[in-house]
């Protein structure tokens, strides 16, 4: 594939920036990859693994860059934008990968000078690992990457960024900022809140009863513990900056949970069966639409629990 950007500056050198660098390099889509992270150790590791150069300041890293990717926790984006703003090259594209979009737009957009294109974005791909050693080239293969352009965003700049993201394997869609934050509260943020809470409950039980809930954890609970191992700074910022949407969805979740709780208390098997049949159909719809690349083939079309 031919080169799409000359110099790319990655600000924040963790899972997402590292994965982008590996993927962009493997596909030959960029010239020079510069990087900045506030930790000297992260800069050293990134230089060994995926950066052509690293800089002690973000301002230095973005000098002459054609594409700047803000890949720091959401709460750190505004200060970085203020620092790099005077050093951005006219015509450059600034994007971000933050898990929340409203707060990032609010914090970053006011700093972007005229003549520089700001196109917020969010890859719907990740793992529970963080830091520069955790990145890998295939992270974005066949995963969604949502762009939330602003009304004034330049169409040619969006098309160029889209080409890069598609070049590293992502499926790109565009969405309104507020809608993004509501959708992500449902499909990512509240599920993380529930996982954190459930692992907290199990830990509490372990301490109260001295039982071996961790040792004997079944696979459903193990999936919760994987999610609950995600980076604390990243998730603190997600919940603080997408507060309204998360509280709205958590409220709906609690109402639904109470209905389920009542059905169990009342031994209402009919309700439970109907509810679980509906949720199983949702899961199967996701697999049939090819949206769960991790699902095993034997799961497709199988009827693991016929009858009742």
Ligand X SMILES: O=C(O)C(=O)C[C@]1(C(=O)O)C=C[C@@H](O)C=C1
Ligand Y SMILES: NC(=O)c1ccc[n+]([C@@H]2O[C@H](COP(=O)([O-])OP(=O)(O)OC[C@H]3O[C@@H](n4cnc5c(N)ncnc54)[C@H](O)[C@@H]3O)[C@@H](O)[C@H]2O)c1
Which residues contribute to the site for ligand X (CB under 6 A)? 99, 124-128, 188, 227
- In sign, the C-alpha dihedral spanning 52, 134, 97, 173 is positive
Compute φ and ψ for 26, nearest 5 degrees. -60, -35
| Partner in contact with 228, chosen from ligand X, ligand Y, none, beta carbon below 5 to 8 Å by kind | none
Residue 37 interacts, among ligand X, ligand Y, none and using kind-specific CB cut-offs from 5 to 8 Å, with: ligand Y
Nearest to 5 by CA among 168, 246, 180: 168
Cβ closer to ligand Y: 14 or 120?
14
State in angstroms the smallest separation of the CB of 59 from ligand Y: 11
| Complex with ligand Y: residue 71 or 93, whichever CB lies closer | 71
Contact between residue 23 and residue 139 where contact means Cβ atoms under 8 Å apart: yes
In the list ligand X, ligand Y, none, the entry touching 185 (Cβ below 5 to 8 angstroms by class) is: none
d(C-alpha 257, C-alpha 221), whole Å: 18
- Enter the tokens of residue 172: 């790109």
Task: Name the CA dihedral angle for 169, 171, 177, 180, rounded to a multiple of 10 degrees.
Answer: -110
Task: Give dist(CA 84, CA 59) in Å, integer.
Answer: 5
Q: Cβ of residue 41: shortest distance to ligand Y, in angstroms?
A: 9
Rounded least distance, CB 98 to ligand Y, Å: 4
Diameter over CA atoms, the chain: 67
Whole-angstrom Cα distance, residue 240 to residue 203? 24
Return the number of the residue (93 or 184) whose C-beta is nearest ligand Y. Answer: 184
Only one residue has tokens 């930790």, namely: 39
C-alpha to C-alpha distances, 86 to 91, 96, 114, 132, 158, nearest whole angstrom: 13, 18, 11, 27, 22
Candidates 254, 188, 253; CA nearest to 227 is 188
What, of ligand Y, ligand X, none, does residue 12 touch, CB below 5 to 8 Å by kind? ligand Y
- Contact of residue 13 among ligand X, ligand Y, none (CB under 5-8 Å per partner type): ligand Y
- Residue ranges in contact with ligand Y by CB under 6 A: 12-17, 37-39, 42, 71-74, 76, 80, 97-99, 122-123, 126, 130-131, 231, 234
- Least distance from ligand Y to the Cβ atom of residue 111, Å: 15
Smallest separation, CB 227 to ligand X (Å) = 6
| Nearest to ligand Y of 61, 92 (CB atom) | 61
Residue 50 structure tokens: 């995926």
Toward ligand X, which CB reaches closer, 47 or 295?
295
Of the pair 42, 148, the CB lying nearest ligand Y is at 42
Partner whose footprint covers residue 188, from ligand Y, ligand X, none (CB < 5 to 8 Å by kind) = ligand X
Residue bearing tokens 């031994």: 267
């Amino acid at each position: 594939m031919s080169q799409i950007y000359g110099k790319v500056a990655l600000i924040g050198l963790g899972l997402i920036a590292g994965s982008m660098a590996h993927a962009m390099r493997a596909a030959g889509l960029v010239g020079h990859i510069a990087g900045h992270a506030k930790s000297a150790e992260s800069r050293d590791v990134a230089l060994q693994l995926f950066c052509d150069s690293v800089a002690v300041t973000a301002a230095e890293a973005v000098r002459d860059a054609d594409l700047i990717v803000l890949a720091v926790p959401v709460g750190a984006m505004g200060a970085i934008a203020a620092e790099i703003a005077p050093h951005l090259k006219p015509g450059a594209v600034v994007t971000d990968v933050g898990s929340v979009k409203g707060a990032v737009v609010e914090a970053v957009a006011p700093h972007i000078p005229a003549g520089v294109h700001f196109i917020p974005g969010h890859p719907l791909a990740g793992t529970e690992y963080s830091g520069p050693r955790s990145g890998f080239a295939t992270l974005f293969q066949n995963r969604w990457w949502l762009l939330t352009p602003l009304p004034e965003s330049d169409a040619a700049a969006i098309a160029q960024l889209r080409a890069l993201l598609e070049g590293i394997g992502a499926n790109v869609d565009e969405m309104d900022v507020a809608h993004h934050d509501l959708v992500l509260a449902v499909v990512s943020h509240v599920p993380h809140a529930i996982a954190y809470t459930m692992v907290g409950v199990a830990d509490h039980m372990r301490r109260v009863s001295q039982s071996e809930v961790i040792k004997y954890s079944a696979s459903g609970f193990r999936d919760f513990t994987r999610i609950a191992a995600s980076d604390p700074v990243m998730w603190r910022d997600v919940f603080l900056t997408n507060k309204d949407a998360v509280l709205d969805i958590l409220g709906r979740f609690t109402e639904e949970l109470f209905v389920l709780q009542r059905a169990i208390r009342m031994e209402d098997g009919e309700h439970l069966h109907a509810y679980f049949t509906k949720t199983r159909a949702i899961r199967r719809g996701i697999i049939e639409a090819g949206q769960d690349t991790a699902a095993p083939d034997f799961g497709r079309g199988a009827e693991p629990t016929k009858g009742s």
